[in-house]
Amino acid sequence: MRPWLLLTPALLVLAVLLLWPLVRVFLFSLQDYGLREITTGEPNWIGTANYAEILTSPELWTVVLPNTVGFAVLSVVGTVAFGTGVAVLLASLGTFWRTVTSSAIMAAWAMPAVTGTYVWIWIFDADRGVFNDVLMGTGLLDEPTNWFTDRWSFYAIVLLNVIHHGFPFVAVTVLAGLLGVPKEMLEAAEMDGAGSFRRFFSIIVPQLRQVFAVVIILSTIWDFKVFAQVYLMPGGAGSNRSVLNLGVWSYVESFGQNRYGFGSAIAVLLTLLLLAITAIYVRTVLAEEER
């Protein structure tokens, strides 16, 4: 009885606020749900037609998914690697510098994502941005380049933006994990002659498996759903078809065109996709459950 008593408040909030809306999203996905349906409240069932349209869309497979998956892989790897590196650095610093540095990191985390995006846009602005100014000043560039028109440079900027905003979470989490590794294990390894790299990869990393699992799952979910950081960039709202990612594409194709059923179908598919991708890590976490 007791577990259910403790669970009920949370489950109630979730059920009322999220469960029913989730069911409705699923129901919308099976309809051609546009403004007219919203106004009249009458359903318009078309079965799995939305799903078929999504899965047979050439744009999805040639541009959108590759961009989304490729970017997610790079940003998760980048954020986790960089964040871990920072954590290691932080762990080896004295109190004063650690406080200074971690406060700086917090500032990067606290800055609103929208603001950060615009700052990066300015930095790389073709005509007036600092980046071009410096490059031209040092003679590496003859004329101003618009970094947003080419797919690779576009996403390099988005990557910079997302990693900058996301590494603090990783750094702080991993740092805390590092501080929990038993000193004795490391001492023993060093006495056996293991260098720092070897110590890191053979002792520390395995101890932090759960930490990394959590961090990777969350980062994957977030980086897959990146929207504002792409949408707000010049050309990112749809006029540059080569940089479309899942978030922007789904927005333009569905909500931008009043096709809410279509948008709901994309949401369902994305959820399933994320579930599939994070399955390995989820199993790691849940396996520990059965102790």
Partner 1 sequence: MTRAMRRPLVAATGAVLLAATTAACGGGSGGDTEGDGTLSVWIMQGTNPDAEGFFDDVSAAFEEETGATLDVEFVEWGDAHNRFVTSIAGGTTPDVAETGTTWTPEFADAGALAPLDEYVDAAGIGDDLVEGLVEAGTYDEQLYGMPWYAGVRSLVYNTEMFEQAGVEPPTTWAELEDAAAGLKEEYPDKIAVAVPGDAEFTVYPWVWGAGGEVATLDGDTWTSGLDSPESQDGIGFWTGLATEGGYSSTGATTWRETDVLDAFAAGDVGMAVMGSWTPGAIVDANPDMEGKFAAVPIPGKDGGIAPSVLGGSHLSMFETAEDKDLAFTFIEMMTTGEFAQQWGEQSGYFPGQVSLLDETLESTDPLVAPFAQQFVEGGASVPVAPTYGAVQAKLTTSTMMQSILSGDADVAEASKAAAEEMTGVLNGSE
Partner 2 sequence: MSTTRSGLALRPLSRTSRRSPLRQLGKGVLVALLLVFTLFPVYWMLNSSLDARAGHTSSFWPAEPTLDHYVFVLTEGGFGTFLRNSLIVALGTVVVSSVLALLASVAVARFRFRLRTQILMLVLIVQMVPLEALVIPLFVQVRDLQLLETLIGLVIVYVALALPFGIWMLRGFVAAVPVELEEAAYLDGATWGRMFWSVLLPLVAPGLVATSIFSFITAWNEFIFAMTMLGGATENYTVAIGLRSFFGVHSNDWGAIMAASTIITVPVMIFFILVQRRLASGLTAGAVKA
Chosen residue from 65, 69, 88, 141 binding partner 2 by CB under 8 A: 88
Q: What torsion do the CA atoms of 264, 265, 267, 269 make, to the nearest 10 degrees?
A: 170
Q: How far apart are CA 77 and CA 84, in angstroms?
A: 10
The answer to whether the beta carbons of residues 123 and 130 sit under 8 Å apart is yes
Per-residue contact string for residues 114-133; x = within reach of partner 2 by CB under 8 A: xxx-xxx-xx-x--xxx--x
Residue 148's closest CA among 269, 230, 62, 206? Answer: 230
267 belongs to the binding site for partner 2 (CB under 8 A):
yes
Provide the b/e sequence for 146-174 (b: ≥16 CB within 10 Å).
Answer: bbbeebeebbebbbebbbbbbbbbbbbbb
Chosen residue from 22, 25, 26, 34 binding partner 1 by CB under 8 A: 34
Which residues from 9-38 bind partner 2, rule CB under 8 A? Answer: 9-11, 13-14, 16-18, 20-22, 24-25, 28, 38
The half-sphere exposure of 184 on its side-chain side, counting CA atoms within 13 A, is 0
Which residues, 6 or more positions from 25, have their beta carbon under 8 angstroms from its beta carbon? 264, 267, 268
Chosen residue from 180, 201, 202, 257 binding partner 2 by CB under 8 A: 180
Nearer to partner 1, 150 or 218 (CB): 150
The answer to whether the beta carbons of residues 214 and 173 sit under 8 Å apart is yes
Chosen residue from 39, 58, 140, 183 binding partner 2 by CB under 8 A: 183
Q: Kindly tell me the sign of the dihedral angle through the C-alpha atoms of 106, 112, 116, 122.
A: negative
Q: How far apart are CA 283 and CA 291, in angstroms?
A: 13
Work out what residue 43 binds among partner 1, partner 2, none; the CB cut-off runs from 5 to 8 Å by kind: none
Which residues from 129-158 bind partner 1, rule CB under 8 A? Answer: 143-146, 148-150
Candidate ranges 38-46, 167-175, 199-207, 214-222; the one touching partner 1 (CB under 8 A) = 38-46
Q: How far apart are CA 76 and CA 101, in angstroms?
A: 22
Helices 260-289 and 209-224: crossing angle, nearest 10°?
180
Beta pairing partners, 45 = 31
Candidate ranges 1-9, 90-98, 107-115, 195-203; the one touching partner 1 (CB under 8 A) = 1-9
Per-residue contact string for residues 237-266; x = within reach of partner 1 by CB under 8 A: xxxxx----------xx--xxx--------
Strands (E), 147-224: none
50 belongs to the binding site for partner 1 (CB under 8 A):
no
Chosen residue from 234, 270, 274, 285 binding partner 1 by CB under 8 A: 234
The residue count for binding partner 1 (CB under 8 A) is: 36
Work out what residue 126 binds among partner 2, partner 1, none; the CB cut-off runs from 5 to 8 Å by kind: partner 1
110 belongs to the binding site for partner 2 (CB under 8 A):
yes
Nearer to partner 2, 140 or 191 (CB): 191
Nearer to partner 1, 116 or 235 (CB): 235
Query: Closest approach of Cβ 131 to partner 2, in Å?
Result: 10
Give residues in contact with partner 1 (CB under 8 A).
5-6, 8-9, 12-13, 16, 34-36, 38-40, 125-128, 143-146, 148-150, 234-235, 237-241, 252-253, 256-258
